[in-house]
Each structure stands twice: as C-alpha cells, then as structure tokens.
Amino acid sequence: MTHMLAEFNAQADRSIEAMKSAAEQARRDHAAAELTRHMLLTTARFADLGRAGAIEAVVADWLGAWHLKRDEWPEIAAEMEALTGAFFDYIATPSDATDKAVRTAWAALKAAHDTPERTLEDQMAWRSMCAHGWWGEVNPAPAGYRDHDTTRPTEPFWTKSCPPQCLG
C-alpha cells in the first residue's frame, strides 16, 4: 500500500509538472499576444507617415524597445518590415484578407527568426521594455538579454523553496 506522504508527494510532483507546462504555454501565448498588440498600436501611431514611413518608424521603434541594432538582424529585417506592412494594411482595411496577410507575415518572421534557443515570444519576454514581470518568473532571460533591467529573475519561480531548516 502507498503511504499517504508518498501519495501526496507523487500527486504534488504531477501537479507541479502540469503547472510548469501551463505556465510556460501561458507565457508564450501572452508574449505573442502582447507583441502583436504592440505592433498594431505602434503601427497605428505612425500610420500618418504613410506605409513606407510607418514601416521604417515601427521597425526602428521595435528594435529600440528590444535594445537591438538593425544591422545585427539583417537576416530578419525584411520579415520584420513585411509584418509591419501587413499590420499597416490591416489597420487601413481590417478584413479576412488582411488578417490572413498578417498571419502569413507572422509565420514568415517566425520561420526566419526562431531557433531552438529563442523565439519571437522569447525576444518579447526577454528584451522588451514592455515585458510583463511574471514572464521572467516563468522563463528568466539569459544573461545579456535584459541589460536594461538589473532586477530580473534568474530562475523560474518553481525553483524557489522553503528555508533549508524546514526540510529537516
């Protein structure tokens, strides 16, 4: 027979694993939602510059918020511009067709950008000045990513424990 402490510990371990998975997925989903919301709002803010001007201003603003230089990202600059252009077109004429263009541009940017080490969602969470604090509690930024934020978490919240003397 399984004793109660072992049963509770096993259930806690299963629950913690489920919580980690849910927290990691929530962080990815929320960072993607926030990045696209920022893109839409920033593109609308610069819409009066015309399509080309808005694209240039938004990409510069985006890279600035992420503390990156355009020449550090030449392999994805065109895709960032394409996504911004798709957002510009969507703002001008929200429709199924322009929504599809945004989705296509998003997928192309992710394909050009994402690696096993980082995703667009990671960049939003790790670099952006607008990152939500809880994102770093789930998946902390690697060293060098948030040089503008010296108070960033360095470990996921689930690694925090009780004081050692409580463990017996």
Q: How far apart are CA 145 and CA 143, in angstroms?
A: 6
How many Cα atoms sit within 13 Å of 159 on the Cβ side?
Answer: 9
| pLDDT digit string, tens, across residues 84-137 | 999 999 999 999 999 999 999 999 999 999 999 899 999 888 888 788 889 989
| pLDDT digit string, tens, across residues 29-76 | 999 999 999 999 999 999 999 999 999 999 998 888 877 788 888 878
| pLDDT confidence of residue 145 | 74
3-state secondary structure of 155: coil
Cβ atoms of residues 58 and 43 within 8 Å:
yes
Q: How far apart are CA 85 and CA 70, in angstroms?
A: 17
| pLDDT confidence of residue 166 | 87
pTM of the model: 0.88
The more confident residue out of 140 and 150 is 140
Cβ atoms of residues 31 and 112 within 8 Å:
no
